[in-house]
Amino acid sequence: MNQTVPKRKFRIRILSAFIAFAVLLSLLGVRLVFLQLIQGSDLKQKAIEQQTRDSLVASHRGAILDRNYKTLAQSSTAHTVTANPNEIQKSKKDIGEIAVKLASVLEMDTEEIVTLLNKKTNHVTIKRRIEDDVVTAVRELDLTGVYLQEDAKRYYPYGNFASHILGFVGNDNQGLGGIEAEYEEELKGAPGRVIALKNALETDMPFKEEKHIDPENGINVVLTIDEVVQHFAEKHLEQAYYDEKVQAGACAIVSDVKTGEILAMATKPDFDLNDPFTLPEDVSADIQSIANDDERREANSNALQKMWRNKAVVDSYEPGSCFKIITGCMALEEGLITPDSTFFCSGSKKVENYNIGCSHRDGHGSQTFADAVKNSCNPAFIEVGQLVGKEKFKEYYKAFGFLDTTGFDLPGEASGIFYADESYNEVELATASFGQGPKVTPLQLMAAVGAVANGGKLMKPYLVKELVDNSGNVVKKTDPTVVRQVISQKTSEQMCAMLENTVANGTGQNAYIKGYRVAGKTGTSEKVPRGSQKYIASFIAFAPANDPKVACLVVLDEPSNGQYYGGAIAAPVVGKILEDTLRYMDVEPQYTEEEKQNLDVSVPNVKGLSRSNAIKNLTNEQLNYRIVGNGETIKEQMPKAGSTISGGSIVILYTEDSTSNYVTVPDVTNLSVGEVQSILAEHRLNLSIAGAAATGNAGNMTVSDSQSPDPGTEVEEGTIIEVQFRYLDVD
């Protein structure tokens, strides 16, 4: 028998086994390489996730401060309730019982929590940013798989104050509008982490071994906004918004004309920054009445976007006669006119086949250019625009910054709109000359007029003064930026003088402030489609005219209370904002001789004096008097000592105890100055004149707009009734 055959078969078996083993080892090697090199990082991450519980610790967003470091937005520590559904399910705990306990503490629906806890996941969020007392209550429940995660809550101490500037944050603490969104990277910081070991049941290990990585808090943003000036702007703008029944919103801007810093920027209506997703009740009710779910959601989204819209930055509009400032500067700078150049206004101007009217239908007749500015005469400015010409007009339009965005610190800034070359003809030039046709944003107009006020330098407007860390170190500072010199110092001075005359003697008298030289211009534009009877009323001014420091623009979109001329309803608002701001900034009043003669006087203290001495003190101050009682010593007086009243007012002197007489304040609104003086005198009340009538040359051209105290109020004889007057016969 041949022995070689079995040996060969044996060797073949060994070889086959070896080859099979080698192939197996190779496959295992390949698999090992695949697991280590290809899937290694993923498997490592999954192992870490399986063996550890990783919790984020929210960083505190940087604060937002005003220019004087008053806090406008800040973050505080809060907690979020989370749960690990897998852990709860593996622990065999009663999910329903856990949900009932949590619902009672968190004031949530039990079924909502049950749904979350039945999910196949390691993490769900039950409720965000709960208060401290709720945190304590959750801890005391000591529920398996339920955790408290440190979080941060954004808080705005003044509610709706500067809402369109500051913006707000979403559920994940990310900026969703305003400075919060624009400076998200600087404000947000970096979250910290807590890493803890857990077992196969996904519960914490019996021994504690945690790794803490501290969060990095965000950088603080310091604004150019002055909280006090912002308050002035919001207060007076809101009053006008309601008084004039403004339908499409209103805005106001206050700026430093020399630096471009924005001191205040307000838009009405506004919203509560601590509750930014809640619409006004009337708007919300209209939306909830929509039956279709998709349409209702879309309407809600559109309403929120409209509410959050910053009108001063995002909306463009036809500036109306405010733009005449720019048209005038073009012609003055080119040497085409002087303030003494003459123009004739018949009440309209024919351009091609169109008769373009003046607001003064009877015409202004022959007038200088300075008078045309004061009178806000459309035909005169059409002629000025024609002198400048189409090409130069557009060059200056661009030079003043109307074709570009300003590079402002807020999202969504719009640029100006001008005619396309193919549709830019003589009629378009004519209407553009007095601010109809092309569109600008309030911010652009503010920057352009700031250049007129400051000697011709177009400054870049800005809202962020500096970035500082929590130790007070300045990380980044914003310096004033000159974009370009658009007009000369001479042109600037000429226009400032003419605009001052407009407020002192022309269409801008409703912005007059006793003791302060105000330069300004009215603006009234009819919205498209023409004939819709919808208007935008505006007024822009700066002061002091001989050394401008601050400028203010107010825009009222679709006033519906009867008046719509900018000079009638926007100018008084600008006057009030500027007066409060100038006094706050301690700008020294500069009284004219006429103003000095009509200055209010401070009522002297005559209590305790004899009749004769009291009368002497009052007459020295050019005040009248009325004595009540038969005593020889003054026991009480009205108005009180230190009150400010007009010269010639009456002080009631009481010589006996409890002899005060009370009168009912009459309604003196919608009356002339003379009529108001007569009625209040009959009621033995004193008048304090505010607004246009304080110019001293108002006569019967003004009517009383509002009064304080209100009609029907019972007051003592001699009480001062402050009455606000304004011109109505202005554009």
Which residues touch 149 (CB under 8 Å, ≥6 apart)? 55, 56, 57, 79, 80, 81, 82
Computed from CA positions of residues 352, 355, 356, 360, in that sequence, does the dihedral angle turn out positive or negative?
Answer: positive
Q: Cα separation of 328 and 385, whole Å?
A: 8
Structure token pair of residue 327: 């048209």
Structure token pair of residue 649: 């007012």
Structure token pair of residue 242: 């309601």
Strand partners, 223: 464
Closest CA to 685 of 658, 700, 667: 667
Structure token pair of residue 565: 């001329």
Specify the amino acid at residue 703: V
Radius of gyration of the chain (CA): 37
Q: Cα separation of 548 and 541, whole Å?
A: 10
Q: Within the chain, what is the greatest distance between any pair of CA atoms? A: 163
Buried b (16+ CB within 10 A) or exposed e, 296-317: eeebbeebbeebbbbbbbbbbb
Q: Cα separation of 158 and 165, whole Å?
A: 13
Helices then strands, counting H and E runs in the chain, come out as: 25, 31
**Distances in Å between the alpha carbon of 579 and those of 550, 557, 564, 570, 690?**
11, 23, 23, 14, 11
Q: What are phi and psi of 689, to 5 degrees?
A: -90, 130
Pairing of strands 686-691, 720-727: parallel
Q: Cα separation of 551 and 442, whole Å?
A: 12
- Please, how many CA atoms are within 13 Å of residue 12, restricted to the half-sphere of its CB? 6
Q: What is the DSSP letter of 422?
A: G
State the angle between helix axes of 390-399 and 378-388 in degrees (0 to 180), rounded to the nearest 10: 100
Residues labelled catalytic: 321
By three-state DSSP, how is residue 344 classified?
strand
Specify the amino acid at residue 654: Y
Element spanning 704, H or E: strand 702-708
Structure token pair of residue 459: 């400054």
Structure token pair of residue 411: 């999202």
